[in-house]
Chain A
Amino acid sequence: MKHLSDQELMRIVQAGDYSPAAEIYDRYSGRIYNFAFRFLRNSEAAEDATQEVFVKMLKHANQFHGDAKLSTWLFSITANWCRDYLRKADNKSKESEDVLISLPASSEHSPDRNLEQRENEQRVRRALESLTAEQREAILLSRYQGLSYAEIAQIAGCSEGAVKTRVFRAMETLKKTLMGETRGGDRCLNVVQ
């Protein structure tokens, strides 16, 4: 299966044979999971999203057109799932006192990651959390998934111009947050090294 292109694999799936499912999962699950994880800031929800996206891919395989990129289609399903999730969580929190359990994204505390990197990771995570969902979606797809504005527009269901504005606003906020911190924020910690 490894030598087959995404389109070829999807054609097999469209013919009702799910045997390429594992190969497609292996190709895209990392990107899908990381996008959902950073977008939702909740590892459990990211796991559900990843599973659901691939199940939907099989279920609605006929909606995939061979001329499109599989990654764009999968990210569309993921982004929809994530937006629904946030909407439901938002409604829930309005209905009751229970607030969405919003877990910070995971970090890899491997010994080879130095302290500065770990600190930066936390700062970036906090800065991303300060963005609106639309801005976060756009910047995550642009910065971490390397998608073009046209692809992001397709995923977000808006114009390319709107994506440019979202990315610009996101970058402005991130720059203010991150550079503001660098220029003398609350960085003092009572730590014994």
Chain B
Amino acid sequence: MSECSAMRESMPLLLTESLDATRREQTLQHIENCALCVSEWAGYQETWSLMADLPEVEVPARVRTQFLSKAGIAPANVVPFRSRPAFKWLAQAAAVAAIAGGSYFLGDYNAPRIQQTAATIDGVRPADDIRMVSTSPVSIAETRVLNAAAISPEIQGRPNIKNVQFVDGDATDNEIGVSFDITSRWTVTGNPKDKSMVRLLSYMLENEESMTPRSTAMDWVRRTYSDPANAEPEIANALAKVLRNDAHEGVRIRAVETLTNLPSAVGTQTRDALIQALKDDPNPAVRLKAVEALAQMTASGTVLDPAMVDTLRQKAFQDDENTYVRVKAAEALSNIKPR
């Protein structure tokens, strides 16, 4: 083996810093003095650095839930609630409900039967007022322990109280306790472009447990946000996340349809999400829906960037891809007009 061949074999080891000091020194000295090896080394370095352009992908959230459920650690339907600024007013209102409900019950727990009627809660502040309240993290689903002497009821109607338990930890201290779950119904009204409204809907699209409410939310979003006056990138982002992460292909197909109907003002998010679905979705029906949408977009003159065109080209020529997907990818490509 010539000296150059030996040195070239050491180059990858040099990149991974796996050579011992002597060998490292020898290799570097050889590279410095050999014109051919300098260019070879530059090629290795460039390759190594190009490889950094392969980004880390995010693990879909469902994998964690499914694993924990399989391991018997948490039920599969538990979705952790992340406190967001836009929800602080909801949390505040929930706290009001809990205090009011608790007070009501404490003052009236000798009544013969608890009526299961919906509560009407006063005192929910409008979104504009919220920015002035405390910004400490709160959770709607929090557990609260309250002192009966320090709260006073402020409700109309009767709260929906369930799972009542009476607690008397210490019989000698003349104190009793009562625990219960309280459920309230909220109606949030506002302009479709109101940030709180957009975030609330985005949260529902991404986190609603059952499939039917998610689909219903999507239909409603499609009707509301397809109006160019209501163009909202955050809604498009939420739909893109649904398209990427939802376990049900029916919901993902619905997400494609909804994204396609969004106005062109949120076109970038839509195009990115459709391309990603075409590349990565395991279900051919979703890929077909995505490529159909892309074909429709290119037919109407929507501009795609080179990476997107490349993906369409790959799909059109991918032997093991569904035939309809390939045909539609070719159609989308043929719609692109040269500049």
Interface residues of A (CB under 8 A from B): 18-19, 21-22, 25-26, 29-30, 33-34, 37-38, 42-44, 47, 50-51, 54-55, 58, 99-111, 113, 115, 117-125, 128, 142-144, 148-149, 164, 167-168, 171, 174-175, 178-179, 182, 189-193
Q: Closest CB of chain B to A133's CB: distance in Å?
A: 18
**A19–B307 Cα gap in the complex (Å)?**
44
Chain B's nearest CB lies how many Å from the CB of A70? 16
Chain A residues near B44 (CB-CB < 8 A)? 171, 175
Q: CB within 8 A of A109: which of B11, B272, B338?
A: B272
Closest-by-CB residue of A relative to B273 is A109
Beta-carbon nearest neighbor of A38 in chain B: B54
The answer to whether B57 and A33 have CB atoms under 8 Å apart is yes
Whole-angstrom distance between the alpha carbons of A42 and B262 in the complex? 29
Judge if B60 is at the interface, Cβ distance under 8 Å: yes
In the bound complex, residues from chain A placing their C-beta under 8 Å from that of B156 are: none
CB distance from B72 to the nearest CB of A (A): 7
Q: How far is the CB of B154 from chain A (nearest CB, A)?
A: 39
Q: How many B residues touch A, CB cutoff 8 Å?
A: 55
- Give 13 CB contacts A-B under 8 Å: A18-B73, A21-B67, A25-B68, A33-B59, A50-B59, A121-B55, A121-B307, A122-B307, A171-B47, A175-B44, A190-B309, A191-B309, A192-B338
| Chain A residues in 8 Å Cβ range of B11 | 171
In the docked arrangement, what's the CA distance between A106 and B59, Å? 11
B307 touches A118 (CB 8 A): yes
* Contact B56–A30 (Cβ < 8 Å): yes
Q: Which of B3-50 contact A (CB under 8 A)?
A: 9, 11-13, 15-16, 18, 43-44, 46-48, 50
Are A22 and B68 in contact, with the CB atoms below 8 A? yes
Q: Is B170 an interface residue (CB 8 A)?
A: no
Q: Which B residues touch A108, using CB under 8 A?
A: 55, 57
> Which chain B positions have C-beta within 8 A of A106?
57, 276, 279-280
Pick from A25, A43, A174, A189: contact of B47, CB below 8 A.
A174
Is B108 close to A, CB under 8 A? no
B290 to chain A, nearest CB (A): 13
Closest chain-A Cβ to B321's Cβ sits at a distance in Å of 8
Give 18 A-B pairs besides A106-B276, A107-B279 with Cβ atoms closer than 8 angstroms: A21-B68, A22-B73, A25-B68, A30-B59, A43-B280, A50-B67, A104-B314, A107-B307, A109-B276, A111-B272, A118-B307, A120-B53, A124-B54, A128-B54, A143-B16, A191-B309, A192-B337, A193-B305
Provide the bound-state CA to CA distance between A189 and B275, in Å.
Answer: 17
With contact pairs A102-B320, A106-B280 given, residues A119 and B51 touching in the complex (Cβ less than 8 Å): no
